[in-house]
Amino acid sequence: MPATVLLVAIIFIGATCAQTGGNAKTLVTDLFTTNSYQKKVRPVRDQDDMIVLLVDFYLVGINGVDEAAQRLTTTGYLSTLWKDQYLEWDPALYGGVISINVPQSYVWKPALALQNGFTKLQELGSSVINVNINISGHVIWEPYEVFESKCNIDVKYFPFDHQTCNISFIDWSNNAFEVEIREGTYGIITAELEDDALWTVISTKLYHDTFDLESRLTYSVTIKRTPGFYVLNIIVPVILLGVLNLFTFVLPADSGEKMGYSITVFLSFAVFLIIVNSELPKTTGSIFGQYMIFQLGIALFTVCVTAIQLRFHYRTDPVPRLISGLMACRCKSKRKITNRNENGKLDRDESKLEETWKDVISILDFILFWISFSVVLSFTIFVFVKLN
């Protein structure tokens, strides 16, 4: 039983299709052949009239931002509407057909193009795209494209940066008196936007102006980088390596590990920088890039200081008066303890208790630890306050 119903339905639908199909066929023949439609002629009866093109932009995805090439890649489509005065018909004559779809190559189309594009200028849309025409000659054309547009990308605040990019459309072949591009009902639509792991659209704006006599519509899109990945995989490790580096000054020179340790930290830094290099924008000027160089510089400083310290550590000659003088105030307390323990020989030993190089190095370590700790800490705070 259901099979019979289905069969009847198919025959019925087939019959109606055939009927309006025949009408549509006649209509297309009449519109394009009998009336000798010329798609090269601007479709206004009075050629002084202007064609108004209403354009909405549906942004579907942010595909990527290339900092080095200064390029934004987006996916989206334009919904364009204009009136073609040569494509009107009376539905009563064509069995009530009120709209038809024909390939975009059949009709006159505005020479709409991406003005700030990255590749060579080319017509939008592809041959598979149809246009929809209704009885009053309104043509709807929706070319879907991957747009590569030029955009000034400033990585100063990477990875907490915002970028504002313009996507401009222009009619290359017609001036503003022949074809005017205006925003449609919605302007720019982000409702269909696919989530991107790296970029979120935070605001959009629309400008309408003329460029070189041609009417231009500009969509301005502000996007924000999601910093999570960079914070976790680059920023935190760099800070941790920086902390590790400070502890070079905590190791006593006697342990014999000091040099090895500082070199290891320095190498880890260098290797880490090489590994993350591919993830960083390939342009200069980011504050974070400078911060990494600063950390590398501190690591280098530590290695050099350690080498010099070790050289002095094994010297046995007396410490020059100037240095021991400088150290004197710091060692007073230590000396008192020594003196109390040795009771009687207090005053005579005082002169022999002068600093050895070992003491000097150990005090220097203490001072350097706190100095570099405060320098690194304050610079780190300064950088991250500036970035946010």
Ligand X SMILES: *[C@@H]1O[C@H](CO)[C@@H](O)[C@H](O)[C@H]1NC(C)=O
Give contact residues for ligand X (rule: CB under 6 A).
81, 134-136, 138, 164, 166, 207, 209, 218, 220
Query: Which parts of 129-239 are beta strand (E)?
Result: 130-134, 138-141, 144-150, 162-171, 179-189, 199-211, 214-225
Q: Which is nearer to ligand X, 43 or 242 (CB)?
A: 43
Q: Which is nearer to ligand X, 168 or 174 (CB)?
A: 168
Eight-class DSSP state of 344: G
Sequence-ordered list of residues with C-beta below 8 angstroms from that of 233, at least 6 positions apart, any chain? 276, 279
Q: What crossing angle do the helices spanning 236-246 and 258-276 adopt, rounded to 10°?
A: 170
In the bound complex, what is the minimum distance in angstroms from residue 45's beta carbon to ligand X? 18
In the bound complex, what is the minimum distance in angstroms from residue 162's beta carbon to ligand X? 11
Q: Which is nearer to ligand X, 72 or 368 (CB)?
A: 72
Q: Supply φ then ψ for residue 359, to 5 degrees.
A: -65, -45
- Say whether the peptide bond before residue 110 is cis (omega within 30 degrees of 0): no
Q: What crossing angle do the helices spanning 321-341 and 357-387 adopt, rounded to 10°?
A: 110
In the bound complex, what is the minimum distance in angstroms from residue 57's beta carbon to ligand X? 14
Q: Rounded CA gap, 36 and 30, in Å? A: 8
Handedness of CA 100, 101, 107, 112 (dihedral sign): positive
Q: What crossing angle do the helices spanning 357-387 and 287-313 adopt, rounded to 10°?
A: 180
Q: Which is nearer to ligand X, 42 or 216 (CB)?
A: 216
Q: Which is nearer to ligand X, 168 or 309 (CB)?
A: 168
Q: Which is nearer to ligand X, 131 or 364 (CB)?
A: 131
In the bound complex, what is the minimum distance in angstroms from residue 56's beta carbon to ligand X? 12
In the bound complex, what is the minimum distance in angstroms from residue 186's beta carbon to ligand X? 13
In the bound complex, what is the minimum distance in angstroms from residue 286's beta carbon to ligand X? 19
